[in-house]
Chain A
């Protein structure tokens, strides 16, 4: 009983302190973990407190990284950006830091990974050690190296797919709005039809019929995702196109390219950038799901989703190898979402409402 009471009291005090000092969110997380700890003490399972403590440690490390990164940004950036950087919430600053870190991993994958992508370096599912930071996978390949190479594949495919879907969706939606009439009708009804099929089902049916390679995968992901971009693009563009300055440009005799790029686009850019972040986070999750189901990236190329699939049988033997790539996917997606959240809040407070 004493074992639970002492750490619980410490946790509750930490929670109260951090609620006052470090921001409400962290205080609350600490508080809920303290509650978990107390509950586990009542039920008497010794493993729960250590998990709770690990989670707490992670949250505070994240907050610390966010804090340091924010200070760093404020120091490095020029005065104008630094003023914004100083007011970035810790969650968003941590998110930015993770995104930057993953990008560095992608670019320098070859230098960072100690072993090759498909190189078999040890026994099956070796535990973590000096030589293999995260142990080995189901074929004896180094988990850490594969995570690093997997970052490159996952992020590259997700970014390409979301950029492509953005370009297609934006182009089609602006086309629909600027031309209007029958063009708008056809594109919108087609879009409705595609929106009516669940995305994963759609992707699986189409991928079952097509040859399996990365280009096909990217195109299928982009085409499915562009329906969402189209809907948003059409909504915001319809709002803008009825404005007086667009009318003025039209009367001036400007071509539609000018209207799209100089009149509409600058006015809808902020919601679009936030939307891009959301779509990117979604693309990572979607790609991982496809790979996990065996229709995404094909072996031997490493990718986070397929790494979960490869190592899932290890869980029965209590080998946590399948959890690392899953955790990394979650971490990156959380980071992107937190940055997007901050951006949306920022624009909302600028305009006084979400516009």
Chain B
């Protein structure tokens, strides 16, 4: 067991750092906003604000309490899974947040399940045919895909499928009950396709760069010159060293997916976290904005943390400390 001790210590360190980072972000999102000019109550009331109504709403929303104690109260709530209540409709944020998070997770994970293997495959193809025509084709198509705004891809697909192919398109309203059904998968086909296109190009280009980096190192050349078969070179010599960078690429792009999902949900009117977040941002419903902000950031940080942990575990050098 002692063999794994240094690794366990590093992993524990990463997890602590990740949790601290999430805490720091929460402070940043809460207290940082206090430092910004502009008053929530004023913004919230908009043009109808009078000094009396502003004071009244400040008291009602609890804004007259000092920011730090409000933050601590909020943090206590979040730690026990209570995100406070929305300013707009005075309902618990939790109520909406959890069901919407499940919907978003369904969408994003389906997209990831399609995009990750596809991106890795295309990355390998592109490296295998480096500077030959499949590589050139993949390169220019992925460059075009990277340059398209997410929402444009979504509308293009809607337009293409509705007009050109005449396939029925409806807003994907996820019904109650279990999410992972064939019928639901059919409903979210277009948003998933959009997300895949958005993420695929990035992931593929990064995979290619990571693989090329390893494939250009001298020991691979040695193996090739020795006459080892190409597949064996990739599988036995290159693969173990590409686990860490590829885990990084995948995690980074899953994190990118988290952000991409916000825009895509708005395009397809999908009842997920992104839509909830944007609705709250438009009416400046700060408790909801902060709750969604911290959840999105936490997912982002956790994914990056996972990548770090995988690369720690994949590095055999750490098993034999000097």
Provide the B133-166 mask, 1 if CB < 8 A to any CB of A, else 0.
Answer: 1001100100110111111100110111011111
Which residue of A25, A47, A193, A326 is within 8 Å of B164 (Cβ)? A47
A19 to B33, CA, bound (A): 56
**Chain A nearest CB: distance from B204 CB in Å?**
15
For A200, list chain B residues within 8 Å (CB).
259, 262-263
Interface of chain A, helix or strand or loop or mixed? Answer: helix
Which residue of A48, A206, A211, A322 is within 8 Å of B33 (Cβ)? A206
A198 B133 Cβ-Cβ under 8 A: no
For A45, list chain B residues within 8 Å (CB).
164-165
> Known: A196-B301, A208-B281, A338-B143. Is A330-B148 also a contact (CB below 8 A)?
yes
A330 B21 Cβ-Cβ under 8 A: no
For A322, list chain B residues within 8 Å (CB).
155
A-side interface size class: 35 or more
For A24, list chain B residues within 8 Å (CB).
133, 136
B297 A196 Cβ-Cβ under 8 A: yes
Chain B residue at minimum C-beta to C-beta distance from A295: B281
Chain B residue at minimum C-beta to C-beta distance from A331: B147
A193 B144 Cβ-Cβ under 8 A: no
For B47, list chain A residues within 8 Å (CB).
none
B36 A210 Cβ-Cβ under 8 A: yes
Interface centre among B162, B267, B277, B286 (most CB of A within 10 A): B277
Chain A residue at minimum C-beta to C-beta distance from B209: A354
Provide the A39-58 mask, 1 if CB < 8 A to any CB of B, else 0.
Answer: 00000010110010000000
Chain A residue at minimum C-beta to C-beta distance from B132: A24
B21 A210 Cβ-Cβ under 8 A: no
A248 to B237, CA, bound (A): 44
Which residue of B25, B140, B152, B160 is within 8 Å of A330 (Cβ)? B152
Chain A residue at minimum C-beta to C-beta distance from B39: A209
A25 B147 Cβ-Cβ under 8 A: no
> Known: A29-B137, A288-B149, A312-B155. Is A208-B289 also a contact (CB below 8 A)?
yes
* In the assembled complex, B83 has its CB within 8 A of some CB on chain A: no
B140 A196 Cβ-Cβ under 8 A: no
* In the assembled complex, B24 has its CB within 8 A of some CB on chain A: yes
* In the assembled complex, A197 has its CB within 8 A of some CB on chain B: yes
Which residue of A27, A91, A329 is within 8 Å of B149 (Cβ)? A329
> Known: A209-B38, A318-B162. Is A330-B293 also a contact (CB below 8 A)?
no
Total interface residues on B, CB under 8 Å, equals 57
**Chain B nearest CB: distance from A174 CB in Å?**
25
For B144, list chain A residues within 8 Å (CB).
330, 334
Query: For chain B residues 12-33, which have a beta carbon within 8 Å of chain A?
Result: 21, 24-25, 28-29, 33
Which residue of A28, A209, A337 is within 8 Å of B136 (Cβ)? A28
* In the assembled complex, B270 has its CB within 8 A of some CB on chain A: no
Which residue of B137, B147, B149 is within 8 Å of A292 (Cβ)? B149
* In the assembled complex, B304 has its CB within 8 A of some CB on chain A: yes
Interface centre among B152, B255, B296 (most CB of A within 10 A): B152
A327 B152 Cβ-Cβ under 8 A: yes
* In the assembled complex, A201 has its CB within 8 A of some CB on chain B: yes
Which residue of B21, B155, B255 is within 8 Å of A326 (Cβ)? B155
Which residue of B136, B266, B293 is within 8 Å of A201 (Cβ)? B293
A326 B151 Cβ-Cβ under 8 A: yes
Query: For chain A residues 201-257, which have a beta carbon within 8 Å of chain B?
Result: 201-202, 204-211
A175 to B284, CA, bound (A): 37
> Known: A205-B290, A210-B37, A330-B148. Is A198-B164 also a contact (CB below 8 A)?
no
A122 to B257, CA, bound (A): 40
Interface of chain B, helix or strand or loop or mixed? Answer: helix
> Known: A293-B266, A323-B155. Is A51-B164 also a contact (CB below 8 A)?
yes
B259 A198 Cβ-Cβ under 8 A: yes
A336 to B147, CA, bound (A): 9
A326 to B292, CA, bound (A): 28
Provide the A326-346 mask, 1 if CB < 8 A to any CB of B, else 0.
Answer: 110110011011100100000
A289 B151 Cβ-Cβ under 8 A: yes
B297 A198 Cβ-Cβ under 8 A: yes
Which residue of B37, B151, B255, B281 is within 8 Å of A198 (Cβ)? B255
* In the assembled complex, A169 has its CB within 8 A of some CB on chain B: no
* In the assembled complex, A135 has its CB within 8 A of some CB on chain B: no
* In the assembled complex, B43 has its CB within 8 A of some CB on chain A: yes
**Chain B nearest CB: distance from A131 CB in Å?**
25
For A48, list chain B residues within 8 Å (CB).
164-165
Chain A residue at minimum C-beta to C-beta distance from B35: A209
* In the assembled complex, B40 has its CB within 8 A of some CB on chain A: yes
A197 B25 Cβ-Cβ under 8 A: yes
B148 A205 Cβ-Cβ under 8 A: no
A328 to B37, CA, bound (A): 35
* In the assembled complex, B258 has its CB within 8 A of some CB on chain A: yes
Chain B residue at minimum C-beta to C-beta distance from A325: B152
B21 A193 Cβ-Cβ under 8 A: yes
A196 to B296, CA, bound (A): 11
**Chain A nearest CB: distance from B294 CB in Å?**
9
Which residue of A201, A312, A333 is within 8 Å of B147 (Cβ)? A333
A208 B284 Cβ-Cβ under 8 A: yes
> Known: A205-B290, A322-B155. Is A334-B278 also a contact (CB below 8 A)?
no
Chain A residue at minimum C-beta to C-beta distance from B28: A193
B159 A193 Cβ-Cβ under 8 A: no
**Chain B nearest CB: distance from A153 CB in Å?**
16
For B284, list chain A residues within 8 Å (CB).
208-209
Query: For chain A residues 264-319, which have a beta carbon within 8 Å of chain B?
Result: 281, 285, 288-289, 292-295, 305, 308, 312, 315, 318
* Residue positions of A touching B, CB distance < 8 A: 19, 24-25, 27-29, 32, 45, 47-48, 51, 91, 193, 196-202, 204-211, 281, 285, 288-289, 292-295, 305, 308, 312, 315, 318, 320, 322-323, 326-327, 329-330, 333-334, 336-338, 341
- Can you list 22 residue pairs at the A/B interface with Cβ under 8 Å? A24-B136, A25-B140, A48-B164, A48-B165, A193-B28, A197-B25, A197-B297, A198-B258, A201-B277, A202-B293, A211-B43, A289-B150, A292-B151, A293-B278, A308-B151, A308-B152, A315-B158, A326-B149, A326-B152, A333-B148, A337-B147, A341-B143
6 closest A-B pairs by beta carbon, nearest first, are A326-B152, A333-B147, A334-B147, A28-B137, A208-B281, A330-B148
